[in-house]
Homo-oligomer: A and B are copies of this chain.
Amino acid sequence: MTVLDQVLARIDADLDASLDRLFAFLRIPSISTDPSHAADCRAAAAHLAADLRGLGIAADLSETAGHPVVLGCGGGGDARGVLFYGHYDVQPVDPLDLWDSPPFEPRLKTLADGRRAIVARGASDDKGQVMTFVEACRAFVAVTGALPLPVTMLIEGEEECGSKSLPDWIEQNRGALSADLALVCDTGMWDASTPAITTALRGLLYEEVEITAADRDLHSGLYGGPARNPIRVLTSILGGLHDADGRVTIPGFYDGITDPPADVLAAWRSLDLTPDNFLKPVGLAEPAGERSRTVIEQLFCRPSCDINGIWGGYTGAGSKTVIPAKAFAKVSFRLVAGQDPDTIRQAFRAFVREKLPSDCTARFEDHTGAPAVAVPWDLKQLAAARKALTEEWGRDALLVGSGASIPIVADFKRLVGMDTLLIGFALDDDRIHSPNEKYDLVSFHKGIRSWARILSALAG
């Protein structure tokens, strides 16, 4: 029996105790956005730090401008190891009357389809997920007396309110954080039987544009025709941001982007992410992105451009025959690896200015600019983790992208120069942030086993 087999057997045998420990963690109402729960946040951090110390990880609270970070270091040796990130804070629980049981009294519930689930605020996001990793470490320590590789733990307490204090804290503590690889357990499975590693997160560039034409509002009867209408100018420019094939027309927009390897693309194409099951549930039918790309490519590895808001002129009830002086829009771009936010910003602004009539002006406001983050497709730890997940679940682990940004991953790359694997066991029906949040017992149990396999593989 290999060490890993012994560890997995220990995990199976210890599941009830693992659940008890998770329940104890879940009972602490560590709602980070609510100042009246500040002491609970600190209690959750202290509870976790104490638990980690029991595993030989030198863990303690590290102060920030907000709730403390749990920082721990264990596993010794010369090898560089992994940095594990999660968060101990949870979302508020209102509306409380929609909960079937009190949110901080965790319980096991059998769902209508027979699945068993842990129900509590934080069961999935992120206490349950954090504990899958902690319990895997505990099993190694129980079987071998030590962690299989050096492990740094960074469990923050402000993720649910924007991780405001974290970038500064990381910058100040980067020495303590250096590792070969970051592991984040705050994402989901592809579906209940298919594990996934998120390897690419799109970046975000968010611009606001204000077009000014006349120096005052004009009457459309007296001026309509000769007078420039800034809404016409704005719609004409923004209406030209995409061509008939759904491609963004800004010159150079796609420069530097490369496609995922053929096997990854092939795996994506085999997925059942069709317009019917991705778009139909929200009332749509036709993919609106690049015509030559599948829905999943449009989401995982292709940039997009959206107009998130537009306004100008008269927007009240009835009619007003005004030609306004100004028109406004908020335009954002989801970026992928190879695209530089500053370059795209300048290209967008040039695109607008180039189309601007000579008697109009454009003013821009920059709201956000964050590059995409992507794990190199040939990263050896990626292959190792993928293989480990595949062995645990009996199904090829997918490498997926995420359309949305997760700032911590960009920070790890930017501030510590570290790649991140996002591996999690949440399911789409976990109702995170909502009443009756749950985490499947299978997610918890096989999540622990998955981490054991991954740690074993990464320890090499």
Write the residues of chain A forming the contact surface with B, with a CB cutoff of 8 angstroms: 202, 204, 206, 208, 213-216, 218-229, 231-232, 234-242, 275, 278-279, 282-290, 295, 298-299, 302-304, 306-315, 318-324, 327-330, 332, 334, 357-359, 367-368, 402-405
Q: In the bound complex, do residue A312 and residue B312 qualify as a contact, i.e. CB atoms below 8 Å apart?
A: no
Q: In the bound complex, do residue B221 and residue A204 qualify as a contact, i.e. CB atoms below 8 Å apart?
A: yes
Q: In the bound complex, do residue A307 and residue B367 qualify as a contact, i.e. CB atoms below 8 Å apart?
A: no
Q: In the bound complex, do residue A215 and residue B282 qualify as a contact, i.e. CB atoms below 8 Å apart?
A: yes
Kindly report which residue of chain B lies nearest to residue A293, judged by CB atoms.
B225
Q: Which of B288, B323, B367 contacts A226 (CB 8 A)?
A: B288
Q: In the bound complex, do residue A214 and residue B283 qualify as a contact, i.e. CB atoms below 8 Å apart?
A: yes
Copies in the complex: 2
Given contacts A309-B314, A314-B330, contact A287 B239 (CB under 8 A): no
Given contacts A319-B368, A359-B284, contact A311 B308 (CB under 8 A): no
Which B residues are in CB contact (< 8 Å) with A295? 226
Given contacts A223-B403, A238-B239, A242-B232, contact A320 B314 (CB under 8 A): no
Interchain CA distance A329-B313 in the complex, whole Å: 9
Interchain CA distance A248-B178 in the complex, whole Å: 62
Q: In the bound complex, do residue A224 and residue B284 qualify as a contact, i.e. CB atoms below 8 Å apart?
A: no
Q: In the bound complex, do residue A308 and residue B304 qualify as a contact, i.e. CB atoms below 8 Å apart?
A: no
Could you say which of A284, A299, A405 has the most chain B C-beta atoms within 10 Å of its C-beta? A284
Q: In the bound complex, do residue A225 and residue B304 qualify as a contact, i.e. CB atoms below 8 Å apart?
A: yes
Q: In the bound complex, do residue B286 and residue A358 qualify as a contact, i.e. CB atoms below 8 Å apart?
A: yes
- A sample of 4 more A-B contacts (CB under 8 A), given A218-B282, A225-B334, A309-B315, is A222-B299, A223-B403, A225-B288, A279-B359
User: What are 26 A-B interface contacts by the 8 Å CB criterion?
Assistant: A215-B283, A220-B304, A221-B402, A221-B403, A222-B404, A223-B282, A223-B403, A225-B287, A225-B303, A225-B334, A228-B288, A229-B288, A231-B307, A232-B241, A232-B306, A232-B307, A235-B307, A239-B239, A286-B357, A308-B313, A308-B314, A308-B320, A308-B321, A309-B324, A319-B367, A319-B368
Q: In the bound complex, do residue A279 and residue B226 qualify as a contact, i.e. CB atoms below 8 Å apart?
A: yes
Interchain CA distance A283-B359 in the complex, whole Å: 8
Which B residues are in CB contact (< 8 Å) with A315? 309-311, 328, 330
Kindly report which residue of chain B lies nearest to residue A302, judged by CB atoms.
B225
Interchain CA distance A285-B214 in the complex, whole Å: 9
Q: In the bound complex, do residue B307 and residue A229 qualify as a contact, i.e. CB atoms below 8 Å apart?
A: yes
Which B residues are in CB contact (< 8 Å) with A303? 225
Given contacts A220-B306, A232-B241, A319-B308, contact A358 B285 (CB under 8 A): yes
Q: In the bound complex, do residue B279 and residue A227 qualify as a contact, i.e. CB atoms below 8 Å apart?
A: yes
Which B residues are in CB contact (< 8 Å) with A313? 307-310, 330
Q: In the bound complex, do residue B359 and residue A285 qualify as a contact, i.e. CB atoms below 8 Å apart?
A: yes
Interchain CA distance A263-B226 in the complex, whole Å: 22
Q: Which of B215, B225, B319 contacts A206 (CB 8 A)?
A: B319
Q: In the bound complex, do residue A321 and residue B284 qualify as a contact, i.e. CB atoms below 8 Å apart?
A: no
Q: In the bound complex, do residue B235 and residue A235 qualify as a contact, i.e. CB atoms below 8 Å apart?
A: yes
Q: Say how far A98's CB is from chain B's closest CB, in angstroms.
A: 18
Which B residues are in CB contact (< 8 Å) with A237? 239
Q: Say how far A236's CB is from chain B's closest CB, in angstroms.
A: 4
